[in-house]
Amino acid sequence: MAAKRVLFLAAEPSNEVRLRLGEEQRAIRNVLQMARARDSIEFHDRFAVRPADLTQALHDVRPNVVHFSGHGSSSGDLCFENDAGVSEPVDPEALASVFRLVSDEVEAVVLNACYSEQQAFAIVRSIKYVIGMSDALDDSAAIRFSAGFYKALGATRTYADSFNFGVAEMRLHGMPDHWTPVLLEKPVVGPAYLRTDDRMDGATYARFTILKGRYGQREGPAVYVDPAQFSCLRSLIETLYRSYLRDRVAPFTYGTEWIITGDWNDHLLLAPAAWVKAPDLPARSAGSSWDESHALEHFGITPGTMWNVRLRDDRSRSLVEEPFAVASTDPQVLEILRSQAKGFVILRHRFTEAPTASQMEADSSSIVVLEDWAGSARGGRWFVDNGGDIPAEAQFYLRRSSFTSRA
């Protein structure tokens, strides 16, 4: 079997903060030299990389893995060097256009630079696995991640497993920004469908309607999604953004610029419990893995259900109003909370406030996030279901939304 070729690219413009890129390169080379499969991996490196050096290195090495280390900007650019050694930004689409040309050779791209997730989203359209950083990343954390990733890759682990080992390496060394690395995987063909036929098969698809604001105008035809095509909620969120929203909202703004809500109950919000404490921040900042830990069914996204994609329409108002979280182990209670805005009011005798997230996690298997539409001072609070009866009036709400009716 041919050796896997890794191309390490480093750029450190003289007008940017100095990084320990040589130490990162040395850490990667050392773990690969000690790997049990060291003879099956070739390591190549280039320093002070200019944009033209990138394409030349791709021609020369024909790599399977491309690793970039250096600076990234909050606008999504990666900082290469120019002939004078100062920063030359490269935007996501420019870099993505290069990787489209080598998609038959490159299997994975690692962007070990601050704010590189936007670049990752652009590249993953043609490369199967792309790792980016969702925020700024400490230099030591970047080195730990690389060491953990290549240690696992040198042990013949998959790219996904190697990513997880990289994150684990950061956590083992007590680094708080272990949530910053993100792994994107090129979506399979046809995971989401755009249709105008409202008679789409409800036995297979869930329907998503894009709305400008809570009571805003519907924007285009509905999106019909086969839940079976998605491994987790994050893959659905990323696909909706890439396919239908990238021209409407900025990247990485789920929870601040757009959010998935129920249709029949548009006060139901798909978000992590911790987010209700700081709803002015993106949802992922409150829970780095909440949207990849469970299948869509866990959130109630099943064939025949209807959902809205709410876009923020007024800069003077928040996207959501006073969100709060409710935890329950009772499937019927979860169904009532998800299907009707009055569900929490009807069942309020069952709930007590949970002062800590750990109590919620210990007492519940499922969490529902809702808007406090009645203005009852529930915003930012957590509630736990302590059990009890389900009133007869609540039985009416034990049904799921359908394509054919809201009743």
Cα 214 to Cα 312: distance, rounded to the nearest angstrom: 8
Choose the final residue of a domain: 166, 185, 204.
Answer: 185
Q: 0.75 exceeded by the pTM? A: no
Backbone angles phi, psi at 57, to 5 degrees: -65, -35
Which residues span the domain enclosing 244?
Answer: 192-397
- Give the CATH number, domain containing residue 86: 3.40.50.1460
pLDDT in tens, 102-116: 999 999 999 999 999
For residue 25, give Cα distances in angstroms to 58, 183, 398.
Answer: 18, 21, 58
The total number of residues shown for the chain amounts to: 407
List the 41-46 sheet strands across, edge first: 41-46, 4-10, 65-69, 108-112, 129-133, 181-185
- Non-local CB neighbours of 58 within 8 Å, separated by 6+ positions: 7, 66, 98, 102, 106
Choose the final residue of a domain: 151, 185, 219.
Answer: 185
252: left (phi over 0), alpha (psi -120 to 50) or beta: left
- Non-local CB neighbours of 172 within 8 Å, separated by 6+ positions: none
On whether both 204 and 234 belong to a single domain, the answer is yes
On whether both 50 and 168 belong to a single domain, the answer is yes
The mean pLDDT of the chain is: 85
On whether both 284 and 380 belong to a single domain, the answer is yes
Q: Which of 154-158, 186-190, 310-314, 388-392 has the lowest mean pLDDT?
A: 186-190
Cα 245 to Cα 255: distance, rounded to the nearest angstrom: 14
Cα 193 to Cα 216: distance, rounded to the nearest angstrom: 23
Residue keyed to tokens 């789409």: 200
Task: Tell me: pLDDT of 337 over 60.
Answer: yes
What is the model's pLDDT at position 189?
45
What is the model's pLDDT at position 90?
95
What is the model's pLDDT at position 2?
76
Q: What is the mean pLDDT of residues 339-366?
A: 76
On whether both 226 and 136 belong to a single domain, the answer is no
Task: Tell me: pLDDT of 323 over 80.
Answer: yes
Neighbour-count burial of 355, counting CB atoms closer than 10 A to its CB (0-12 exposed, 13-18 middle, 19+ buried) = exposed
Host H or E run for residue 141 = helix 139-153
Residue 404 lies in a domain: no
Cα 121 to Cα 237: distance, rounded to the nearest angstrom: 12
8 Å CB contact between 101 and 75? no
Q: What is the mean pLDDT of residues 185-193?
A: 57
8 Å CB contact between 364 and 384? yes
On whether both 367 and 275 belong to a single domain, the answer is yes
